[in-house]
Amino acid sequence: MLLSIIHCNLFTNLVYYTIFEFLNYIEFGADMLFNSFLFIFIFLPLTLIGWYLLNHFERYELAKVFLAGMSLWFYGYFNVYYLAIIVVSIAVNYLLSWLLTHARTKLANRAGLFVGLLFNLGLLFYFKYYDFFIENLNLAFHADFTLKHILLPLGISFFTFQQLSFIIDRCLGRAEHYSFINYVTFVTFFPQLIAGPIVLYKEMIPQFEDTANRKLNAQNFSQGIVLFVLGLGKKILLADVLALVVNYGFAQTFSLDTPSTVLVILAYTFEIYFDFSGYSDMAMGLGRMFNIILPVNFNSPYRACSVKELWQRWHMTLSRFFVTYVYIPLGGSKKGKLRTILNTIVIFFLSGLWHGAAWTYIAWGTMQGLLVVWDNLGIVGIKGRAEKHPAKFHIPAWLGWILTFGFFNLSLFFFRSESMAGAIQMFRNLGAMNYTGKMFEVASTLDIPEFYVIKEALGIMAPQLTGYAYLGLLLFYLALSFFMITRKNVLEIAKNGKLTSGKCWAVTAVFVWCVISLSQVSTFLYFNF
């Protein structure tokens, strides 16, 4: 009888809690994230309906105007200030492209290239790196220049690089001038606007111009839904949960012991994986709903057996940009081994700086570059792998994976820490080999709705076991995360698998679970870059 009453009360409390959280967080004035009520239930349906209706009545140009307008609304919803910046950026770059059509001399192309680089990199420098530069200038020369504390526009690194690639190719004669609405649609297409992938004009504009893409394609649309929902699940049900541990852990850097440090960095390793992987899947899914195929940007990097292979799988379009527009112009691998090493270090240094204006990002990027250089030296290879230049020593694939995964974990101390001192302290925590029981405090931050019934039951019947239950929950999430990275990725599932009734029910269940859990909405990590 007593147990029945307890169970009834727990169930009632859980229902009330869920309803309260749902009502508390259904705020349509919040940021329009992919994982928000406003985006899922208002913005996306309206945009899809408007796009296909206008195309149905063969108002093709108006459809692109509508899509560009909705994309600008999506971007400006975060901050109207952002909207002014992207509009100016688009206008200047398009004007420069137009001017190049009327001045086809080598001198004009060189001048256009100079102006394009100066404007785009100058815009990026001012909003993203000005304060960082001034801070270091003040430190180096004991100066007292005033910091501006400039608000960083979302996604400025993405749409700047996107337009920069177009302007460079225009000046080199590799790209044609497009209509204004085609160009605006290419830059602002909302699935890739905020956090990538960094798309190229030649893979996007032809798709927007192809009238065959204007009709609803059931296969593309269903694949898009699967990609979006499973990506949403990665973000909300895995990344955002692990973020609770990560945020608390890195705020307690100087008080962590060795076991809690290991748990925190593993949690962050999987958080950033599922955050970026989830966003990439959602972006590709949204694109397919509009019959637009976005380039693959994330392809199971934690399966890699070398750091070089990892970076062939992680943020693939950023790597493509740096290889095409920095590495190759610097000489690539065709000017000797020493020059190749230097060029590799340069692009990874820039990659680190691209991720953020801080020495921690620079240290992280340089570390990745050194490890890739080591791979390129061909001293150690993986058994059974085809090699252009045979290595002197070979190790099994499982050992290569352990070393790669371990090195990447350690490098993330720099990527996530607020300062170099914080990153160094995390290394010290590992080396200290001490135990203070901090891991129970770290694990207790996983106060998620799914754990509510167990927590309440333990609070009544065995409160002394609550700490162990939280630790078990954290270990379960880490084990689940590890299991997930060893399975087929979402792209493989969507491409190779038929959408059976069982999969439909599974996708529906994930979606419902995500909607119920939208109270845990947080921004995507790559929005910060």
pLDDT in tens, 263-294: 999 999 999 999 999 999 999 999 999 999 99
The whole-angstrom separation of Cα 97 and Cα 404 is 43
Residue 485 φ then ψ, to 5°: -75, -15
pLDDT per residue over 166-185, tens digit each? 999 999 989 899 999 999 99
Please, which residues bridge with residue 395 across strands?
382
CB distance 93 to 120 below 8 Å: yes
Q: Are residues 208 and 236 in the same domain?
A: no
Q: Is 26 inside any structural domain?
A: no
> 460-470: b or e for each residue (b if 16 or more CB lie within 10 Å)?
eeeeeebbebb
Residue 314 carries which DSSP code? B
**What pLDDT sits at residue 220?**
92
Q: Are residues 83 and 200 in the same domain?
A: yes
Give the pLDDT band (50/70/90) at residue 529. Answer: low
Number of folded domains that form the chain? 2
Q: Is 90 inside any structural domain?
A: yes
Q: Is 14 inside any structural domain?
A: no
The whole-angstrom separation of Cα 253 and Cα 267 is 14
**Which has the minimum average pLDDT: 212-216, 246-250, 403-407?**
212-216
Nearest to 519 by CA among 115, 19, 88: 19
- Are β-strands 393-395 and 380-382 bridged in parallel, bridged antiparallel, or unpaired? parallel
Residue 36 carries which DSSP code? S
Whether 129 shows a pLDDT value over 60: the answer reads yes
Q: Give the contacts of 106 (CB within 8 A, at least 6 positions apart).
A: none
Place of tokens 């996530």: 416
C-alpha to C-alpha distances, 276 to 119, 197, 310, 337, 448, nearest whole angstrom:
29, 11, 14, 33, 22
The whole-angstrom separation of Cα 308 and Cα 520 is 35
Identify the domain boundary among 198, 215, 232. 215
Q: Is 161 inside any structural domain?
A: yes
The whole-angstrom separation of Cα 28 and Cα 16 is 22
Q: What is the DSSP string of 140-177?
A: HHT--PPP--PPPPTTHHHHHHHHHHHHHHHHTT-S--
Q: Give the contacts of 385 (CB within 8 A, at least 6 positions apart).
A: 305, 397
Q: What is the C-alpha radius of gyration for the chain, rounded to an integer number of angstroms?
A: 25
Please state the pTM of the whole predicted model: 0.89
Q: Is 17 inside any structural domain?
A: no
Whether 75 shows a pLDDT value over 90: the answer reads yes
**What pLDDT sits at residue 136?**
94
Q: Is 5 inside any structural domain?
A: no
Q: Is 394 inside any structural domain?
A: yes
Task: State in Å, rounded, how far the first CA of the chain is from the last one.
Answer: 56
Place of tokens 């688009």: 90
Q: Give the contacts of 195 (CB within 8 A, at least 6 positions apart).
A: 155, 158, 279, 283, 524, 526, 527, 529
CB distance 134 to 181 below 8 Å: no
**Which has the minimum average pLDDT: 16-30, 150-164, 215-229?**
16-30
Q: Are residues 187 and 226 in the same domain?
A: no
The amino acid at 88:
V
**What pLDDT sits at residue 522?**
63
Whether 2 shows a pLDDT value over 60: the answer reads no
CB distance 324 to 198 below 8 Å: no
Q: Could you tell me the sign of the dihedral formed by the alpha carbons of 97, 99, 104, 107, in that order?
A: negative
Q: Are residues 454 and 512 in the same domain?
A: yes
**Which has the minimum average pLDDT: 125-139, 239-253, 313-327, 444-458?**
444-458
CA–centroid distance for 435 within its chain: 34
Q: Are residues 276 and 370 in the same domain?
A: yes
Q: Give the contacts of 41 (CB within 8 A, at least 6 positions apart).
A: none
Q: Are residues 240 and 198 in the same domain?
A: no
Q: Is 523 inside any structural domain?
A: yes
Kindly report the average pLDDT of the chain as a whole number: 88
Beta strands in 250-389 (DSSP E): 380-382
Catalytic residues: 355
**Which has the minimum average pLDDT: 2-16, 70-84, 168-182, 476-490?**
2-16
Q: Are residues 191 and 225 in the same domain?
A: no
Whether 8 shows a pLDDT value over 50: the answer reads no
Nearest to 478 by CA among 506, 435, 439, 430: 439
C-alpha to C-alpha distances, 147 to 33, 216, 237, 283, 420, nearest whole angstrom:
30, 51, 39, 35, 21
Identify the domain boundary among 177, 197, 215. 215
Q: Give the contacts of 350 (CB within 8 A, at least 6 positions apart).
A: 322, 326, 365
Please, which residues bridge with residue 309 across strands?
none
Please, which residues bridge with residue 394 across strands?
381
Q: Give the contacts of 189 (CB within 8 A, at least 6 positions apart).
A: 67, 71, 199, 204, 287, 292
The whole-angstrom separation of Cα 375 and Cα 360 is 23
Whether 315 shows a pLDDT value over 70: the answer reads yes
Whether 499 shows a pLDDT value over 80: the answer reads no
Give the pLDDT band (50/70/90) at residue 526. Answer: low
More confident residue, 379 or 347: 347
Neighbours of 457 (CB within 10 A): 16
The whole-angstrom separation of Cα 174 and Cα 202 is 10
Whether 491 shows a pLDDT value over 80: the answer reads no
Q: Are residues 182 and 284 in the same domain?
A: no
pLDDT per residue over 216-233, tens digit each? 999 899 999 999 999 999
Q: Are residues 285 and 426 in the same domain?
A: yes
Length of the chain: 529
Q: Are residues 379 and 249 in the same domain?
A: yes
Q: Are residues 337 and 389 in the same domain?
A: yes
Identify the domain boundary among 186, 215, 244. 215
Q: Are residues 76 and 196 in the same domain?
A: yes
Domain that holds residue 161: 31-215
Please, which residues bridge with residue 380 across strands?
393
